[in-house]
C-alpha cells in the first residue's frame, strides 16, 4: 500500500500539467462568471435607452429590446440641451484635470527634489488638510466665489483645481522621491536649471503616475454632482451628471425611463472609453510603485 501511494505521488509530480490546467480553467470560469454579473447593470442601462416603455416594465425582464428604437435618445436631445451639457462636462473635466496635474506635479517636485527651509513642516501642513472634510469649507468657498461674481459661471468648478490638493501632491511626491539623484546631477552638469529638470527629466519618468492621477481627477470632475448644483442655476450650464439628476427629478421619470437610460449611457461611455485607453498606464504605475516602494 505504501509503495502504491509513493508511486501515485511520483506520477502526480511527474505530470502536474493536467491538475494545473484544470485549476486554471476553473479560475477563469469563475472570473468570467463574476465579470458577466458585473456587466449586467451596465447592459441593462445601455439597452434601456433603445427600449420602449413596454419592454422596460415587462416581467420577467427582457435583456434584449423586442424592437430597437432611438426614441429615448431623440427625446433626450429634443427636450433638453444635452449636447451643451456634454460640452460643459468636457470643458470642466479637461481643464480641471490639467490644472490638478500641473499644480500637483510642481508642488510634489519641489517637496521631493528641492531643499528649502521649512519643507518638512510645510508638507505636513499640506497633509493635515486631508483631515478636514470638504463640506466644512463649502460655505466659505461659496461666499468667496459670490464676492468674485463667479456664480452661474464655470469658474468655481475649474479654478480650484489649479491649486491642487494634498492627496495629489502626496501621491506624486512619492514617485518623484524614487527617481535617482544622478539624473538631476547629470542635468545640472549639462546646464539645466530646475524648471528644465522638472519638465525634461522628471516628468517623463513618472508618466504612469501622471496618467493614473489624471484619470482619477477626470472621473472626479466628470461625476461631480454637488458643486454644479451649488454654483449653477441654469440647465444649459450644468454638466452631464447634474443634468441627468435634473432630468430624473423634473421630467416624469416613471414615464420616461428610456430617456433616463439614454442620458446615463451617454454619461458613462466617455469615462469608460478613457479608462480602457489608459489602463495599461495604470498597471505600469502599480508595477512601478511596487518595484520602487
pLDDT-above-90 percentage for the chain: 20
Query: Backbone phi, then psi, for 163, in 5-degree steps?
Result: -110, 5
When pLDDT is cut at 50, 70 and 90, the band that residue 10 belongs to is low
pLDDT, position 127: 86
pLDDT, position 285: 60
Q: Nine-digit cell at 134?
A: 470638504
pLDDT, position 2: 44
Please state whether the predicted TM-score (pTM) of the whole model is above 0.85.
Answer: no
Region 198-222 average pLDDT: 88
When pLDDT is cut at 50, 70 and 90, the band that residue 49 belongs to is confident
Helix 17-48 to helix 257-292 angle (10° resolution) is: 140
Residue 216 CB coordination number (10 Å): 16
Region 163-173 average pLDDT: 87
**Has residue 293 got a pLDDT over 50?**
no
Q: Are 160 and 142 in contact (CB under 8 A)?
A: no
Residues of the chain within CATH 1.10.3720.10 domain(s) are: 75-292
Q: Please name the fold of domain 75-292.
A: MetI-like fold (1.10.3720)
- In this structure, of 36-45, 121-130, 214-223, the range with the lowest mean pLDDT score is 36-45
pLDDT, position 286: 59
Comparing 257 with 103, the larger pLDDT belongs to 103
When pLDDT is cut at 50, 70 and 90, the band that residue 289 belongs to is low
Amino acid at each position: 500500500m505504501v509503495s502504491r501511494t509513493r508511486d501515485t505521488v511520483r506520477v502526480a509530480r511527474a505530470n502536474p500539467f493536467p491538475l494545473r490546467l484544470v485549476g486554471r480553467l476553473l479560475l477563469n470560469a469563475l472570473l468570467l462568471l463574476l465579470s458577466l454579473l458585473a456587466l449586467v447593470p451596465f447592459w441593462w442601462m445601455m439597452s434601456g435607452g433603445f427600449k420602449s416603455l413596454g419592454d422596460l416594465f415587462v416581467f420577467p425582464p427582457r435583456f434584449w429590446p423586442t424592437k430597437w428604437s432611438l426614441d429615448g435618445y431623440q427625446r433626450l436631445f429634443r427636450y433638453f440641451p444635452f449636447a451643451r451639457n456634454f460640452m460643459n462636462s468636457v470643458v470642466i473635466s479637461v481643464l480641471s484635470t490639467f490644472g490638478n496635474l500641473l499644480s500637483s506635479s510642481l508642488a510634489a517636485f519641489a517637496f521631493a527634489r528641492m531643499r528649502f527651509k521649512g519643507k518638512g513642516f510645510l508638507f505636513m501642513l499640506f497633509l493635515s488638510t486631508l483631515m478636514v472634510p470638504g463640506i466644512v469649507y463649502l460655505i466659505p468657498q461659496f461666499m468667496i466665489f459670490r464676492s468674485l461674481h463667479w456664480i452661474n459661471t464655470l469658474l468655481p468648478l475649474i479654478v480650484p483645481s489649479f491649486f491642487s490638493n494634498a492627496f495629489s501632491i502626496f501621491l506624486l511626491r512619492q514617485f518623484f522621491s524614487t527617481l535617482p539623484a544622478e539624473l538631476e546631477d547629470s542635468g545640472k552638469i549639462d546646464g539645466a536649471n530646475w524648471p528644465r529638470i522638472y519638465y525634461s527629466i522628471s516628468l517623463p519618468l513618472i508618466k504612469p503616475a501622471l496618467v493614473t492621477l489624471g484619470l482619477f481627477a477626470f472621473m472626479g470632475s466628470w461625476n461631480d454632482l454637488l458643486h454644479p448644483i451649488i454654483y449653477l442655476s441654469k440647465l444649459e450650464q450644468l454638466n452631464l451628471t447634474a443634468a441627468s439628476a435634473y432630468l430624473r427629478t423634473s421630467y416624469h421619470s416613471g414615464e420616461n425611463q428610456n430617456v433616463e437610460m439614454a442620458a446615463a449611457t451617454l454619461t458613462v461611455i466617455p469615462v469608460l472609453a478613457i479608462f480602457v485607453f489608459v489602463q495599461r498606464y495604470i498597471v505600469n504605475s502599480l508595477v512601478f510603485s511596487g518595484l520602487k516602494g
